[in-house]
Homo-oligomer: A and B are copies of this chain.
Amino acid sequence: MAAGRRGRTRRRELRDGGGETPTRAVDYTNLVTPFPVMKAFSDDRIEAIHEAALDLLETQGMKILLPEARQFFRQAGARIDEDSQMVRIGRDIIAAALATAPRRVTMRAGAPTRDVVLELGRLVFQPGGGTPHATDRLRGRRPGLGRDFREAVQLTEHFDVFHMFSALLEPQDIDLTLRHYFMIEAQLTLSDKVPFVYARGRPQVLDSFEMVRDFRGLSDDDFRAEPWSSTVINTNSPRTIDIPMAQGLIDFAQHGQLSIITPFTLMGAMAPITVAGAMVLSHAEALAAIALAQLARPGAPVVYGTFTSNVDMKSGSPAFGTPEQFTASLAAGQLARHIGLPLRNASGSAANIADAQGANETQFALWGNLLAGTTIVIHAAGWLEGGLTLSYEKLVTDTEVLQMVAELCTATPAGDADLARDALAEVDPGGHFFAAAHTMARYRTQFYTPLVGDWTNHGTWEENGALTATERATGIWEGILAANRHPDLDPARVAALHAFIAKRTAEGGAPPES
Protein backbone atom coordinates (compact mmCIF):
# COMPACT_ATOMS: atom_id res chain seq x y z
CA MET A 1 0.00 0.00 0.00
CA ALA A 2 2.93 2.27 0.67
CA ALA A 3 4.01 1.64 -2.93
CA GLY A 4 2.49 4.74 -4.47
CA ARG A 5 -0.07 4.33 -7.22
CA ARG A 6 -1.56 7.75 -6.71
CA GLY A 7 -0.60 9.26 -10.01
CA ARG A 8 -2.17 6.70 -12.26
CA THR A 9 -5.02 7.38 -14.62
CA ARG A 10 -8.47 7.00 -13.12
CA ARG A 11 -11.05 6.24 -15.69
CA ARG A 12 -14.38 5.42 -14.23
CA GLU A 13 -16.69 7.64 -12.28
CA LEU A 14 -19.19 6.57 -9.69
CA ARG A 15 -22.27 8.69 -9.33
CA ASP A 16 -24.55 8.70 -6.36
CA GLY A 17 -28.29 8.72 -6.75
CA GLY A 18 -28.91 12.30 -5.60
CA GLY A 19 -29.62 15.44 -7.53
CA GLU A 20 -26.01 16.46 -7.37
CA THR A 21 -23.48 14.30 -9.07
CA PRO A 22 -20.57 14.08 -6.68
CA THR A 23 -18.08 12.03 -8.56
CA ARG A 24 -15.41 9.77 -7.28
CA ALA A 25 -12.96 8.47 -9.81
CA VAL A 26 -11.88 4.90 -9.26
CA ASP A 27 -9.78 2.56 -11.32
CA TYR A 28 -10.05 -1.13 -10.58
CA THR A 29 -7.97 -2.20 -13.60
CA ASN A 30 -4.27 -3.04 -13.49
CA LEU A 31 -4.14 -3.81 -9.82
CA VAL A 32 -0.80 -4.22 -8.09
CA THR A 33 -1.11 -6.20 -4.87
CA PRO A 34 -0.44 -4.16 -1.75
CA PHE A 35 -0.57 -7.24 0.50
CA PRO A 36 2.36 -8.79 2.32
CA VAL A 37 2.94 -12.45 1.61
CA MET A 38 2.37 -15.06 4.27
CA LYS A 39 4.17 -18.39 4.39
CA ALA A 40 2.55 -21.72 5.08
CA PHE A 41 5.85 -23.52 5.48
CA SER A 42 9.49 -22.68 6.00
CA ASP A 43 11.53 -22.15 2.85
CA ASP A 44 13.36 -25.45 3.31
CA ARG A 45 10.07 -27.37 3.44
CA ILE A 46 8.95 -25.63 0.23
CA GLU A 47 12.18 -26.84 -1.32
CA ALA A 48 11.39 -30.33 0.02
CA ILE A 49 7.94 -30.22 -1.59
CA HIS A 50 9.49 -29.11 -4.87
CA GLU A 51 12.02 -31.94 -4.71
CA ALA A 52 9.36 -34.49 -3.79
CA ALA A 53 7.34 -33.38 -6.82
CA LEU A 54 10.37 -33.78 -9.07
CA ASP A 55 11.00 -37.23 -7.59
CA LEU A 56 7.37 -38.18 -8.16
CA LEU A 57 7.59 -37.17 -11.82
CA GLU A 58 10.86 -39.04 -12.29
CA THR A 59 10.02 -42.24 -10.45
CA GLN A 60 6.23 -42.61 -10.69
CA GLY A 61 5.49 -40.39 -13.63
CA MET A 62 2.33 -39.10 -15.22
CA LYS A 63 -0.23 -40.98 -17.27
CA ILE A 64 -0.58 -38.99 -20.46
CA LEU A 65 -3.32 -40.27 -22.75
CA LEU A 66 -2.44 -38.38 -25.93
CA PRO A 67 0.25 -40.12 -28.05
CA GLU A 68 1.34 -36.79 -29.54
CA ALA A 69 2.01 -35.48 -26.05
CA ARG A 70 4.00 -38.58 -25.10
CA GLN A 71 6.01 -38.02 -28.26
CA PHE A 72 7.01 -34.53 -27.11
CA PHE A 73 8.20 -35.99 -23.84
CA ARG A 74 10.00 -38.85 -25.59
CA GLN A 75 11.92 -36.42 -27.74
CA ALA A 76 12.91 -34.54 -24.62
CA GLY A 77 14.33 -37.70 -23.09
CA ALA A 78 11.54 -38.82 -20.79
CA ARG A 79 11.03 -42.55 -20.17
CA ILE A 80 7.79 -43.66 -21.79
CA ASP A 81 5.84 -46.86 -21.25
CA GLU A 82 3.42 -46.92 -24.17
CA ASP A 83 1.39 -49.81 -22.71
CA SER A 84 0.58 -48.00 -19.50
CA GLN A 85 0.87 -44.54 -21.11
CA MET A 86 3.09 -43.61 -18.20
CA VAL A 87 5.64 -40.86 -18.77
CA ARG A 88 8.50 -40.53 -16.32
CA ILE A 89 9.82 -36.99 -16.56
CA GLY A 90 13.35 -36.17 -15.47
CA ARG A 91 14.06 -33.04 -13.49
CA ASP A 92 16.20 -31.76 -16.36
CA ILE A 93 13.07 -31.57 -18.51
CA ILE A 94 11.27 -29.62 -15.80
CA ALA A 95 14.23 -27.31 -15.34
CA ALA A 96 14.34 -26.59 -19.05
CA ALA A 97 10.61 -25.84 -19.08
CA LEU A 98 10.91 -23.47 -16.15
CA ALA A 99 13.74 -21.71 -17.96
CA THR A 100 11.58 -20.96 -21.01
CA ALA A 101 8.22 -20.27 -19.38
CA PRO A 102 7.75 -16.49 -19.32
CA ARG A 103 7.64 -14.71 -15.94
CA ARG A 104 5.41 -12.01 -17.36
CA VAL A 105 2.55 -12.37 -19.81
CA THR A 106 0.47 -9.55 -21.26
CA MET A 107 -3.01 -10.66 -22.22
CA ARG A 108 -4.43 -8.69 -25.12
CA ALA A 109 -8.05 -7.67 -24.94
CA GLY A 110 -10.53 -6.03 -27.28
CA ALA A 111 -9.39 -2.63 -26.07
CA PRO A 112 -5.94 -1.66 -24.77
CA THR A 113 -7.48 -0.52 -21.48
CA ARG A 114 -8.61 -4.09 -20.92
CA ASP A 115 -5.21 -5.67 -21.47
CA VAL A 116 -4.07 -7.64 -18.44
CA VAL A 117 -0.51 -8.13 -17.22
CA LEU A 118 0.13 -11.45 -15.48
CA GLU A 119 3.16 -11.68 -13.26
CA LEU A 120 3.84 -12.11 -9.58
CA GLY A 121 2.80 -8.92 -7.81
CA ARG A 122 -0.23 -8.27 -10.03
CA LEU A 123 -3.79 -8.95 -8.93
CA VAL A 124 -6.45 -10.13 -11.36
CA PHE A 125 -9.99 -11.26 -10.56
CA GLN A 126 -12.24 -13.63 -12.45
CA PRO A 127 -15.83 -14.47 -11.53
CA GLY A 128 -16.87 -17.98 -10.65
CA GLY A 129 -16.50 -20.37 -13.55
CA GLY A 130 -17.40 -23.73 -14.93
CA THR A 131 -20.71 -24.19 -13.15
CA PRO A 132 -23.38 -26.42 -14.71
CA HIS A 133 -26.16 -24.52 -12.95
CA ALA A 134 -27.22 -20.92 -12.53
CA THR A 135 -29.38 -19.44 -9.83
CA ASP A 136 -31.02 -16.15 -8.98
CA ARG A 137 -33.87 -15.08 -6.74
CA LEU A 138 -36.28 -14.44 -9.60
CA ARG A 139 -35.91 -17.60 -11.63
CA GLY A 140 -34.52 -20.08 -9.15
CA ARG A 141 -31.82 -22.70 -9.62
CA ARG A 142 -31.73 -24.26 -13.06
CA PRO A 143 -29.36 -25.93 -15.48
CA GLY A 144 -27.38 -23.16 -17.14
CA LEU A 145 -28.88 -21.84 -20.35
CA GLY A 146 -27.55 -19.84 -23.24
CA ARG A 147 -29.52 -16.89 -21.92
CA ASP A 148 -27.82 -17.28 -18.54
CA PHE A 149 -24.38 -17.45 -20.11
CA ARG A 150 -24.96 -14.23 -22.01
CA GLU A 151 -26.20 -12.58 -18.84
CA ALA A 152 -23.13 -13.75 -16.94
CA VAL A 153 -20.97 -12.27 -19.70
CA GLN A 154 -22.74 -8.95 -19.32
CA LEU A 155 -22.32 -8.97 -15.55
CA THR A 156 -18.62 -9.77 -15.95
CA GLU A 157 -18.27 -6.98 -18.49
CA HIS A 158 -20.01 -4.51 -16.21
CA PHE A 159 -17.69 -4.68 -13.22
CA ASP A 160 -14.19 -3.32 -13.85
CA VAL A 161 -12.90 -5.45 -11.00
CA PHE A 162 -13.30 -8.54 -13.20
CA HIS A 163 -10.28 -8.40 -15.44
CA MET A 164 -10.62 -11.59 -17.48
CA PHE A 165 -13.35 -14.08 -18.20
CA SER A 166 -13.60 -17.41 -16.46
CA ALA A 167 -15.66 -20.18 -18.04
CA LEU A 168 -18.69 -18.70 -16.23
CA LEU A 169 -21.59 -21.16 -16.49
CA GLU A 170 -22.39 -23.97 -18.86
CA PRO A 171 -25.09 -23.16 -21.45
CA GLN A 172 -26.54 -26.64 -21.44
CA ASP A 173 -29.28 -25.89 -23.94
CA ILE A 174 -26.67 -25.33 -26.64
CA ASP A 175 -25.50 -28.50 -28.40
CA LEU A 176 -21.98 -29.45 -27.39
CA THR A 177 -20.79 -29.41 -31.00
CA LEU A 178 -21.90 -25.76 -31.30
CA ARG A 179 -21.44 -24.51 -27.76
CA HIS A 180 -18.00 -23.06 -28.34
CA TYR A 181 -19.37 -20.81 -31.11
CA PHE A 182 -22.03 -19.57 -28.76
CA MET A 183 -19.67 -18.94 -25.86
CA ILE A 184 -17.00 -17.17 -27.90
CA GLU A 185 -19.56 -15.08 -29.77
CA ALA A 186 -21.14 -13.89 -26.55
CA GLN A 187 -17.80 -12.93 -25.00
CA LEU A 188 -16.60 -11.10 -28.11
CA THR A 189 -19.77 -9.18 -28.85
CA LEU A 190 -20.86 -8.37 -25.29
CA SER A 191 -17.47 -7.49 -23.82
CA ASP A 192 -14.01 -6.39 -24.78
CA LYS A 193 -12.34 -8.29 -21.94
CA VAL A 194 -10.04 -11.28 -22.61
CA PRO A 195 -12.23 -14.27 -23.54
CA PHE A 196 -12.08 -17.76 -22.09
CA VAL A 197 -11.82 -20.69 -24.51
CA TYR A 198 -12.59 -24.22 -23.38
CA ALA A 199 -9.95 -26.83 -24.24
CA ARG A 200 -12.43 -29.49 -25.34
CA GLY A 201 -10.29 -30.84 -28.09
CA ARG A 202 -8.45 -29.51 -31.13
CA PRO A 203 -11.39 -28.93 -33.49
CA GLN A 204 -13.21 -26.66 -31.07
CA VAL A 205 -10.05 -24.89 -30.00
CA LEU A 206 -8.98 -24.12 -33.56
CA ASP A 207 -12.48 -22.87 -34.36
CA SER A 208 -12.30 -20.65 -31.30
CA PHE A 209 -8.88 -19.26 -32.16
CA GLU A 210 -10.09 -18.42 -35.67
CA MET A 211 -13.07 -16.54 -34.23
CA VAL A 212 -10.95 -14.51 -31.80
CA ARG A 213 -8.23 -13.83 -34.35
CA ASP A 214 -10.61 -12.56 -37.02
CA PHE A 215 -12.82 -10.62 -34.63
CA ARG A 216 -9.76 -8.80 -33.33
CA GLY A 217 -8.68 -8.13 -36.91
CA LEU A 218 -5.38 -9.96 -36.58
CA SER A 219 -3.17 -11.82 -39.00
CA ASP A 220 -2.37 -15.35 -38.00
CA ASP A 221 1.16 -14.26 -37.08
CA ASP A 222 -0.11 -11.40 -34.95
CA PHE A 223 -2.51 -13.69 -33.18
CA ARG A 224 0.21 -16.22 -32.41
CA ALA A 225 2.59 -13.52 -31.21
CA GLU A 226 0.54 -12.61 -28.14
CA PRO A 227 -2.15 -14.25 -26.00
CA TRP A 228 -5.64 -13.02 -26.92
CA SER A 229 -7.46 -15.78 -25.07
CA SER A 230 -6.96 -18.13 -22.16
CA THR A 231 -7.99 -21.59 -21.10
CA VAL A 232 -7.83 -23.60 -17.92
CA ILE A 233 -6.02 -26.92 -18.01
CA ASN A 234 -7.14 -29.28 -15.26
CA THR A 235 -5.08 -32.38 -14.79
CA ASN A 236 -7.05 -35.43 -13.71
CA SER A 237 -5.63 -35.95 -10.28
CA PRO A 238 -3.89 -38.12 -9.41
CA ARG A 239 -1.30 -37.90 -12.18
CA THR A 240 -3.29 -38.05 -15.39
CA ILE A 241 -3.44 -35.67 -18.34
CA ASP A 242 -6.33 -36.64 -20.58
CA ILE A 243 -6.66 -36.14 -24.34
CA PRO A 244 -8.49 -32.80 -24.51
CA MET A 245 -6.24 -31.32 -21.82
CA ALA A 246 -3.07 -32.51 -23.57
CA GLN A 247 -4.34 -31.21 -26.90
CA GLY A 248 -5.21 -27.94 -25.22
CA LEU A 249 -1.74 -27.56 -23.76
CA ILE A 250 -0.19 -28.20 -27.17
CA ASP A 251 -2.63 -26.09 -29.18
CA PHE A 252 -2.63 -23.10 -26.85
CA ALA A 253 1.16 -23.22 -26.67
CA GLN A 254 1.65 -23.51 -30.41
CA HIS A 255 -0.75 -20.64 -31.02
CA GLY A 256 0.80 -18.48 -28.34
CA GLN A 257 -2.37 -18.48 -26.23
CA LEU A 258 -2.50 -18.77 -22.44
CA SER A 259 -2.87 -22.03 -20.53
CA ILE A 260 -3.78 -21.55 -16.88
CA ILE A 261 -2.63 -24.88 -15.50
CA THR A 262 -4.61 -25.97 -12.50
CA PRO A 263 -4.60 -29.37 -10.85
CA PHE A 264 -7.77 -29.71 -8.80
CA THR A 265 -6.51 -31.61 -5.79
CA LEU A 266 -8.99 -32.26 -3.03
CA MET A 267 -7.12 -33.33 0.07
CA GLY A 268 -8.23 -36.74 1.25
CA ALA A 269 -9.91 -37.61 -2.08
CA MET A 270 -7.87 -37.15 -5.26
CA ALA A 271 -4.84 -36.00 -3.28
CA PRO A 272 -3.12 -36.84 -0.01
CA ILE A 273 -4.97 -35.67 3.07
CA THR A 274 -2.19 -33.36 4.23
CA VAL A 275 -1.63 -29.91 2.78
CA ALA A 276 2.03 -30.72 2.21
CA GLY A 277 1.22 -34.01 0.46
CA ALA A 278 -1.49 -32.49 -1.68
CA MET A 279 0.89 -29.73 -2.72
CA VAL A 280 3.51 -32.30 -3.77
CA LEU A 281 0.92 -33.82 -6.11
CA SER A 282 -0.48 -30.50 -7.34
CA HIS A 283 3.00 -29.13 -7.95
CA ALA A 284 4.13 -32.26 -9.81
CA GLU A 285 1.10 -32.23 -12.08
CA ALA A 286 1.43 -28.52 -12.78
CA LEU A 287 5.11 -28.91 -13.60
CA ALA A 288 4.36 -31.79 -15.99
CA ALA A 289 1.74 -29.72 -17.79
CA ILE A 290 4.00 -26.67 -17.93
CA ALA A 291 6.68 -28.93 -19.42
CA LEU A 292 4.32 -30.17 -22.15
CA ALA A 293 3.41 -26.58 -23.07
CA GLN A 294 7.06 -25.57 -23.19
CA LEU A 295 8.00 -28.64 -25.24
CA ALA A 296 5.23 -27.78 -27.70
CA ARG A 297 6.54 -24.24 -27.97
CA PRO A 298 9.32 -22.89 -25.77
CA GLY A 299 8.24 -19.59 -24.28
CA ALA A 300 4.54 -20.43 -24.47
CA PRO A 301 2.53 -18.36 -22.00
CA VAL A 302 1.43 -20.34 -18.96
CA VAL A 303 0.19 -19.60 -15.48
CA TYR A 304 1.08 -21.91 -12.62
CA GLY A 305 -2.05 -22.79 -10.75
CA THR A 306 -3.50 -24.80 -7.97
CA PHE A 307 -6.91 -25.49 -6.56
CA THR A 308 -6.33 -27.45 -3.39
CA SER A 309 -9.02 -27.74 -0.78
CA ASN A 310 -10.31 -30.46 1.52
CA VAL A 311 -13.32 -32.72 1.66
CA ASP A 312 -15.66 -33.66 4.46
CA MET A 313 -14.16 -37.02 5.40
CA LYS A 314 -17.56 -38.34 6.47
CA SER A 315 -19.40 -37.60 3.23
CA GLY A 316 -16.67 -36.94 0.70
CA SER A 317 -18.26 -33.55 -0.03
CA PRO A 318 -15.74 -30.94 -1.12
CA ALA A 319 -15.30 -27.93 1.12
CA PHE A 320 -14.11 -24.44 0.19
CA GLY A 321 -13.05 -21.39 2.11
CA THR A 322 -11.56 -23.61 4.81
CA PRO A 323 -8.39 -23.10 6.87
CA GLU A 324 -6.84 -25.98 4.91
CA GLN A 325 -7.57 -24.32 1.55
CA PHE A 326 -6.16 -21.08 2.94
CA THR A 327 -2.95 -22.82 3.95
CA ALA A 328 -2.69 -24.63 0.63
CA SER A 329 -3.08 -21.30 -1.16
CA LEU A 330 -0.18 -19.91 0.85
CA ALA A 331 1.97 -22.93 0.01
CA ALA A 332 1.12 -22.51 -3.67
CA GLY A 333 2.25 -18.90 -3.42
CA GLN A 334 5.57 -20.02 -2.03
CA LEU A 335 5.95 -22.61 -4.79
CA ALA A 336 5.03 -20.05 -7.46
CA ARG A 337 7.71 -17.70 -6.16
CA HIS A 338 10.11 -20.65 -6.03
CA ILE A 339 9.67 -21.19 -9.76
CA GLY A 340 9.02 -17.52 -10.58
CA LEU A 341 5.76 -17.94 -12.48
CA PRO A 342 2.49 -16.05 -12.11
CA LEU A 343 0.07 -17.91 -9.85
CA ARG A 344 -3.57 -18.77 -10.24
CA ASN A 345 -5.41 -19.59 -7.06
CA ALA A 346 -9.09 -19.97 -6.32
CA SER A 347 -11.63 -18.67 -3.90
CA GLY A 348 -14.96 -20.47 -3.64
CA SER A 349 -17.68 -21.71 -1.35
CA ALA A 350 -19.54 -24.91 -0.61
CA ALA A 351 -22.65 -23.03 0.52
CA ASN A 352 -25.92 -23.89 -1.16
CA ILE A 353 -27.29 -20.37 -1.22
CA ALA A 354 -26.02 -16.80 -1.21
CA ASP A 355 -25.95 -16.48 2.57
CA ALA A 356 -23.53 -15.62 5.36
CA GLN A 357 -21.74 -18.98 4.95
CA GLY A 358 -21.22 -18.30 1.27
CA ALA A 359 -20.00 -14.77 1.95
CA ASN A 360 -17.66 -15.89 4.70
CA GLU A 361 -16.17 -18.85 2.84
CA THR A 362 -15.56 -16.86 -0.33
CA GLN A 363 -13.97 -13.96 1.50
CA PHE A 364 -11.90 -16.26 3.72
CA ALA A 365 -10.55 -18.08 0.68
CA LEU A 366 -9.96 -14.72 -1.00
CA TRP A 367 -7.71 -13.59 1.83
CA GLY A 368 -5.76 -16.83 1.55
CA ASN A 369 -5.27 -15.98 -2.11
CA LEU A 370 -4.30 -12.38 -1.41
CA LEU A 371 -1.76 -13.31 1.27
CA ALA A 372 -0.36 -15.97 -1.05
CA GLY A 373 0.58 -13.27 -3.54
CA THR A 374 -1.80 -14.76 -6.08
CA THR A 375 -1.85 -13.25 -9.56
CA ILE A 376 -5.23 -14.57 -10.75
CA VAL A 377 -8.03 -15.24 -8.27
CA ILE A 378 -10.67 -17.32 -10.01
CA HIS A 379 -14.13 -18.05 -8.59
CA ALA A 380 -13.82 -14.72 -6.82
CA ALA A 381 -17.56 -14.03 -7.03
CA GLY A 382 -20.81 -15.90 -7.38
CA TRP A 383 -19.51 -19.46 -7.01
CA LEU A 384 -21.79 -21.69 -4.91
CA GLU A 385 -22.07 -25.40 -4.12
CA GLY A 386 -18.38 -26.00 -4.74
CA GLY A 387 -18.78 -24.89 -8.32
CA LEU A 388 -22.08 -26.43 -9.27
CA THR A 389 -23.95 -23.13 -9.39
CA LEU A 390 -23.28 -19.53 -10.32
CA SER A 391 -25.45 -17.20 -8.23
CA TYR A 392 -26.27 -13.80 -9.68
CA GLU A 393 -26.89 -12.32 -6.25
CA LYS A 394 -23.74 -13.76 -4.75
CA LEU A 395 -21.82 -12.42 -7.71
CA VAL A 396 -22.97 -8.94 -6.68
CA THR A 397 -22.31 -9.29 -2.95
CA ASP A 398 -18.89 -10.86 -3.54
CA THR A 399 -18.04 -8.11 -6.03
CA GLU A 400 -18.48 -5.62 -3.20
CA VAL A 401 -15.59 -7.31 -1.41
CA LEU A 402 -13.45 -7.36 -4.55
CA GLN A 403 -14.05 -3.65 -5.06
CA MET A 404 -13.05 -2.97 -1.47
CA VAL A 405 -9.88 -5.00 -2.01
CA ALA A 406 -9.24 -3.04 -5.19
CA GLU A 407 -9.60 0.17 -3.17
CA LEU A 408 -6.76 -1.06 -0.96
CA CYS A 409 -4.54 -1.32 -4.05
CA THR A 410 -4.47 2.48 -4.27
CA ALA A 411 -2.22 4.10 -1.70
CA THR A 412 -3.99 6.30 0.82
CA PRO A 413 -2.33 9.70 0.81
CA ALA A 414 -0.65 10.87 4.01
CA GLY A 415 0.92 14.11 2.86
CA ASP A 416 1.04 17.15 5.10
CA ALA A 417 -2.40 18.35 3.96
CA ASP A 418 -3.87 14.94 4.78
CA LEU A 419 -2.67 15.27 8.37
CA ALA A 420 -5.32 17.99 8.72
CA ARG A 421 -3.45 20.17 11.21
CA ASP A 422 -5.58 23.21 10.31
CA ALA A 423 -8.86 21.34 10.70
CA LEU A 424 -7.69 19.88 14.00
CA ALA A 425 -6.91 23.38 15.26
CA GLU A 426 -10.19 24.76 13.87
CA VAL A 427 -12.59 22.28 15.49
CA ASP A 428 -12.89 22.70 19.23
CA PRO A 429 -13.78 19.98 21.74
CA GLY A 430 -17.49 19.31 21.40
CA GLY A 431 -17.44 20.30 17.74
CA HIS A 432 -17.46 18.24 14.60
CA PHE A 433 -15.67 18.15 11.27
CA PHE A 434 -18.64 18.02 8.91
CA ALA A 435 -18.31 21.69 8.00
CA ALA A 436 -14.52 22.02 8.25
CA ALA A 437 -12.88 23.39 5.11
CA HIS A 438 -10.68 20.27 5.05
CA THR A 439 -13.83 18.14 4.96
CA MET A 440 -15.72 20.27 2.46
CA ALA A 441 -12.84 20.04 0.01
CA ARG A 442 -12.90 16.26 0.12
CA TYR A 443 -16.30 14.94 1.10
CA ARG A 444 -17.46 14.09 -2.39
CA THR A 445 -14.54 11.89 -3.21
CA GLN A 446 -12.97 10.63 -0.03
CA PHE A 447 -14.77 7.38 0.63
CA TYR A 448 -15.63 4.22 -1.22
CA THR A 449 -19.27 4.15 -2.33
CA PRO A 450 -20.83 0.76 -1.63
CA LEU A 451 -22.32 -1.32 -4.41
CA VAL A 452 -24.88 -3.26 -2.40
CA GLY A 453 -23.99 -2.35 1.16
CA ASP A 454 -26.70 -0.38 2.94
CA TRP A 455 -25.57 1.95 5.72
CA THR A 456 -28.97 3.42 6.56
CA ASN A 457 -30.30 3.20 10.09
CA HIS A 458 -32.67 0.48 11.16
CA GLY A 459 -35.81 2.56 10.79
CA THR A 460 -34.99 3.67 7.26
CA TRP A 461 -33.93 0.16 6.35
CA GLU A 462 -37.28 -1.19 7.54
CA GLU A 463 -39.16 1.51 5.65
CA ASN A 464 -37.27 0.46 2.55
CA GLY A 465 -38.54 -3.08 2.88
CA ALA A 466 -36.07 -4.64 5.33
CA LEU A 467 -34.16 -6.30 2.51
CA THR A 468 -31.07 -8.44 3.00
CA ALA A 469 -28.01 -7.68 0.88
CA THR A 470 -28.83 -10.73 -1.21
CA GLU A 471 -32.31 -9.40 -1.84
CA ARG A 472 -30.97 -5.97 -2.77
CA ALA A 473 -28.49 -7.63 -5.10
CA THR A 474 -31.34 -8.79 -7.32
CA GLY A 475 -32.19 -5.23 -8.32
CA ILE A 476 -28.54 -4.53 -9.06
CA TRP A 477 -28.03 -7.34 -11.54
CA GLU A 478 -31.45 -6.66 -13.04
CA GLY A 479 -30.44 -3.06 -13.61
CA ILE A 480 -27.18 -4.06 -15.26
CA LEU A 481 -28.90 -6.48 -17.60
CA ALA A 482 -31.68 -4.01 -18.35
CA ALA A 483 -29.12 -1.41 -19.40
CA ASN A 484 -27.89 -3.99 -21.91
CA ARG A 485 -24.67 -2.15 -22.70
CA HIS A 486 -22.37 -3.36 -25.45
CA PRO A 487 -18.87 -2.38 -26.36
CA ASP A 488 -18.44 -0.46 -29.61
CA LEU A 489 -18.33 -3.07 -32.29
CA ASP A 490 -17.29 -3.08 -35.91
CA PRO A 491 -20.42 -4.28 -37.75
CA ALA A 492 -18.33 -5.89 -40.45
CA ARG A 493 -16.48 -8.03 -37.92
CA VAL A 494 -19.70 -8.99 -36.20
CA ALA A 495 -21.15 -9.99 -39.55
CA ALA A 496 -18.05 -12.00 -40.40
CA LEU A 497 -18.20 -13.72 -37.02
CA HIS A 498 -21.81 -14.65 -37.51
CA ALA A 499 -21.11 -15.82 -41.05
CA PHE A 500 -18.32 -18.05 -39.76
CA ILE A 501 -20.59 -19.52 -37.13
CA ALA A 502 -23.38 -20.09 -39.67
CA LYS A 503 -20.98 -21.82 -42.02
CA ARG A 504 -19.47 -24.02 -39.35
CA THR A 505 -22.90 -24.80 -37.93
CA ALA A 506 -24.05 -25.89 -41.37
CA GLU A 507 -20.99 -28.11 -41.54
CA GLY A 508 -22.05 -29.77 -38.29
CA GLY A 509 -19.89 -27.82 -35.87
CA ALA A 510 -17.08 -29.51 -33.98
CA PRO A 511 -17.53 -32.32 -31.50
CA PRO A 512 -15.66 -32.18 -28.22
CA GLU A 513 -12.84 -34.63 -27.59
CA SER A 514 -13.16 -36.89 -24.61
List A residues at the B interface (Cβ < 8 Å): 1-2, 16, 18, 34-42, 45, 48-49, 52, 55-56, 59-60, 62-63, 86, 141, 236, 238-240, 267-278, 280-281, 310, 312-319, 322-324, 326-327, 330, 350-361, 363-364, 367, 371, 385-386, 388-389, 394, 397, 400-401, 404, 407-408, 412-416, 418-421, 423-425, 427-434, 436, 438-439, 442-444, 446-448, 450, 452-458, 461-462, 466, 468-470, 473
Q: Are B357 and A433 in contact (CB under 8 A)?
A: no
Q: Are A432 and B269 in contact (CB under 8 A)?
A: yes
A59 to B421: give the CA distance in the assembly, Å: 11
Residues on B with beta carbons closer than 8 Å to the beta carbon of A275: 412, 414, 418
CB distance from A465 to the nearest CB of B (A): 11
A217 to B429: give the CA distance in the assembly, Å: 43
Q: Are B280 and A420 in contact (CB under 8 A)?
A: yes
Residues on B with beta carbons closer than 8 Å to the beta carbon of A404: 322-323, 326, 364
CB-based nearest B residue for A56:
B424
Q: Are B444 and A313 in contact (CB under 8 A)?
A: yes
Residues on B with beta carbons closer than 8 Å to the beta carbon of A425: 56, 59-60
Residues on B with beta carbons closer than 8 Å to the beta carbon of A421: 52, 55-56, 280
Name 29 interchain pairs, CB-CB below 8 A, sorted by A: A1-B41, A35-B38, A40-B414, A48-B414, A48-B416, A48-B419, A49-B414, A52-B421, A59-B425, A239-B428, A240-B429, A240-B430, A272-B423, A272-B433, A273-B436, A273-B446, A274-B446, A275-B412, A276-B420, A310-B447, A316-B434, A322-B404, A324-B448, A352-B457, A354-B356, A356-B358, A356-B473, A357-B468, A364-B401
Residues on B with beta carbons closer than 8 Å to the beta carbon of A277: 418-420, 423-424, 438
Q: Are A271 and B358 in contact (CB under 8 A)?
A: no
Decide: A453 near B327, CB < 8 A? Known: A238-B427, A316-B434, A423-B272.
Answer: no
Q: Are B466 and A353 in contact (CB under 8 A)?
A: yes
